[in-house]
Structure 1
Amino acid sequence: MKYHQISNQLFIKNRKKFMAQMKPKSIAAFNSNDIYPISADSTMPFEQHRDIFYLSGADQEETILVLFPDAMDSRHREILFVRETNEHIAVWEGEKLTKEKATEVSGIKTIYWLSDFKKVFFDLMTEADTIYFNTNEHYRQAVETQTREDRFILECKKEFPAHQYAKSNPILQQIRGIKETEELDLMQTACNITEKGFRRLLGFVKPDVWEYEIEAELLHEFVKNRSKGFAYQPIIASGNNANVLHYVENNQQCKNGDLILMDVAAEYANYSSDLTRTIPVNGKFTQRQKDVYNAVLRVKNDATKLLVSGTIWAEYHKECGKLMTSELLGLGLLDKADVQNENPDWPAYKKYFMHGTSHHIGLNTHDYGELKTPMKANMVFTVEPGIYIPNEKMGIRLEDDVVIQEKGAPFNLMANIPIEVDELEELMNS
């Protein structure tokens, strides 16, 4: 891995939090992701399942974590099963976790080879009444592929039909949503790498540059700083491309007088950052661009102040809608009649700002975290309002990542990344 090894104390704490909420005589299992094929002998780069990483730090394929707090043998209360390495694997694939290294990474003392899993697991299941299955219940999930976790669940139900089943996801939604100090430090590192990439761009962008050239500059800076690269598929949208919310082609030339909306950010140690900035191709905003930009910035700043302990996510978005409505009226994009006659299910502001303002971020860009209960300290949210005006070939979105505090306004992990019009223009023209 490119990142510096994380202290196993983080994963020890995370497992304790999870096990504290498990039922008596219950066992929980977590599987690595598959390595997904493309065609022939080609595969996609491996991405570890974030849940097993969160609980163990193991960043390797064919790994299984088993938690059994009431195991009769105390050695079996935490077990990590890893793929057995050998000289052939070392030559063709490189270093894999040894038992000693797996303990060092995870803090788990009992390490078995994966080949021992069925025998050991069967023995443990004779002691357990309930098994926790790790299903994907994220509110935005739309997975059609059968995963390694899915296959494990089907096999367990077949082999252990008399056991009770429980869900690990509600526990993970609760505990993963509230970050430990170590996690906040990792996320700050990701944001700092993103800042380096963005500052690099400010001296690079000029009329007639291509969107993919900007993407290449960012990737260079990210990998140079120990990131695998982008935390999500980068959006580098110049001119009217910015009005396609998930524009990812990044294949157009940036024209003089246009703006570029860039939703691009680095990951670090599997933790995401999520940044959006909008800059002028020629280094100078027109008055109209500046007016719309500052309207988005005011909404972002005011929306950020609303992210405090106790806030309800759904109510927060309603308040953000009111902030945006006021700005759209000021820009002349809406009039009072539009607001008075609006559909409550699709308010007038949605014509120009059709997405949400904030989501959890962490090990996933759209991370786990409770949404129907009050916000809590050390939850991390994005703040990302935008105004999209296709008939003016202009789309502006601004986004930072902020940490909810026990009291008062949130802490901005991206506070050092330029965002004010004057600063952007000065840096682009220096």
Structure 2
Amino acid sequence: MKYHPIDSQLFIKNRRKFVAQMKPNSLAIFNSNDIYPVSADSTLPFAQHRDIFYLSGIDQEESILLLFPDAPYENQKEMLFLKETNEHIAIWEGAKLNKEQAFQVSGIKTVHWLQNFQTVLAELMSYSDTIYINTNEHYRATIETETREARFVKWWKNKYPAHAVAKSNPILQRLRAVKEQEEIDLIQQACNITEKGFRRILPFVKPDVMEYEIEAELIHEFIRNRSKGFAYTPIIASGNSANVLHYIENNKACKTGELILMDVAAEYANYSSDLTRTIPVSGRYSDRQKAVYNAVLRVKKQATQMLTPSTLWKEYQAEVGKIMSSELLGLGLLDKADIQNENPEWPAYKKYFMHGTSHHMGLDTHDYGILTEPMQANMVFTVEPGIYIPEEKFGIRIEDNVVIQEHGEPFNLMKNIPIEVEEIEDLMNT
């Protein structure tokens, strides 16, 4: 791995929190992700399933974590099953984790080779009443591929139909949403790498630069700072392309007088950052661009102050909508009649700001968290208002990542990344 080793105490704490929520005499199983084929013998780069990583730190394919807190013997309470290295694998791919290395990473003492999994499981199933299966129930998830986890669930239900079934996901949705300090530090590292990339491209951008050239500068800076790369598919949208919320082609020339909306950030140790900045191709914002930019920035600053413990996401979004409506009035994009006659189900401001203001962030860019439950201290949220004006051929979004505090205003993990008009212009013209 490119990232520095993570103290196993983080994963020990995470497992303790999870097993404390399990039913009596139950066990839970978590699988690594597959390595996905492309064609012929080509594959996509391996990306670990975030749940097994959260609970063990194991960042290797074909791994299984088993938790059984009420097991009759101490060495059965938590186990790892790993792919055993052979000479062929060691030569062609590099050696996999051995048992001692797996303990150092995870803090789990009982490590078996994967070929022993079904034998060990058969014994444990005779002691247990319930199994926790790990289904993906994220509110944004659209799953069209059968995962390794899904194949295991299908196999297990056929093999052990008499056991009760419980779900890991509701527990993890709540646990993963509230970060340990070690996790916040890892997210901060991802944000710091993102800052280096952003500062690199400010003096680089000039009229006629290609969007993909900006992308190339960013990935260079991310990887040289121990990131695997982008935390999500980068959006580098110049001109009217900024009005396509998930524009990812990144293949146009950036023209004089245009803005570039860049929603692009680094990962670090599987943790995400999520940055958006909108900068002028020519190094200076026009008066109109500056007015819209500062309106978005004011909304972002006021929205950030509302991210406090006990806040409900739906009420928060409604309040941000009122602030945005006022700014759109000031910009002449809405008038009072638009607001007086608006449909409550689709308020007038949504013509120019159609997405949510904040989402949970962590191991996933759109991280676990239940939006119907109150916010808590140590949750990490994005704050990302935007104004999109197709008729004027530009859109502006500004986004930072913040940690909710027990008392006081949220802590901005991106507080050192340039955001004010003047500092962006100064850095682009040095």
TM-score (norm 1): 1.00
Whether 2:224 is the aligned partner of 1:231: answer no
The aligned runs of 1:297-316 (5 Å cut-off) are 297-316=297-316
SS in 2 for 1:285: coil
Separation of aligned partners in 2, 1:374 and 1:272 = 23
SS in 2 for 1:188: helix
Q: Which residue of 2 aligns with 1:254?
A: 254
SS in 2 for 1:405: coil
SS in 2 for 1:297: helix
SS in 1 for 2:378: coil
Q: Which residue of 2 aligns with 1:367?
A: 367
Q: Which residue of 2 aligns with 1:78?
A: 78
Separation of aligned partners in 1, 2:208 and 2:55 = 47
Q: Deviations over 1:216-244 (max 9, x none)?
A: 00000000000000000000000001000
Separation of aligned partners in 2, 1:134 and 1:371 = 20
Identical-pair percentage: 73
For structure 1, which runs of at least 5 residues remain unmatched after alignment?
none
Whether 2:47 is the aligned partner of 1:60: answer no
Whether 2:391 is the aligned partner of 1:357: answer no
Separation of aligned partners in 1, 2:258 and 2:113 = 57
The aligned runs of 1:4-403 (5 Å cut-off) are 4-403=4-403
Runs of 4+ in 1 over 6 A off after TM superposition: none
Q: CA deviation at 1:86?
A: 1.4
SS in 2 for 1:96: coil
Separation of aligned partners in 1, 2:29 and 2:98 = 21
Q: Which residue of 1 aligns with 2:2?
A: 2
Q: Deviations over 1:1-24 (max 9, x none)?
A: 100010000000000000000000
1:373 partner amino acid:
E
Whether 2:425 is the aligned partner of 1:425: answer yes
Separation of aligned partners in 1, 2:371 and 2:397 = 23
Separation of aligned partners in 1, 2:409 and 2:418 = 20
For structure 2, which runs of at least 5 residues remain unmatched after alignment?
none
Q: Deviations over 1:376-404 (max 9, x none)?
A: 00000000000000010110000000000
2:12 partner amino acid:
I
Q: CA deviation at 1:95?
A: 2.5
2:233 partner amino acid:
Q
2:274 partner amino acid:
D
Separation of aligned partners in 2, 1:411 and 1:137 = 29
| Aligned CA-pair RMSD | 0.5
Separation of aligned partners in 2, 1:311 and 1:183 = 22
SS in 2 for 1:72: coil
Q: CA deviation at 1:370?
A: 2.2
Separation of aligned partners in 1, 2:327 and 2:244 = 21
Separation of aligned partners in 1, 2:87 and 2:226 = 28
Separation of aligned partners in 2, 1:102 and 1:119 = 21
SS in 2 for 1:402: strand
Q: Deviations over 1:5-54 (max 9, x none)?
A: 10000000000000000000000000000000011111110000000000
Separation of aligned partners in 1, 2:8 and 2:121 = 24
Separation of aligned partners in 2, 1:43 and 1:233 = 18
Separation of aligned partners in 1, 2:175 and 2:145 = 26
1:401 partner amino acid:
N
SS in 2 for 1:401: strand
Q: CA deviation at 1:409?
A: 1.0
Q: Deviations over 1:125-153 (max 9, x none)?
A: 10000000000000000111110000111
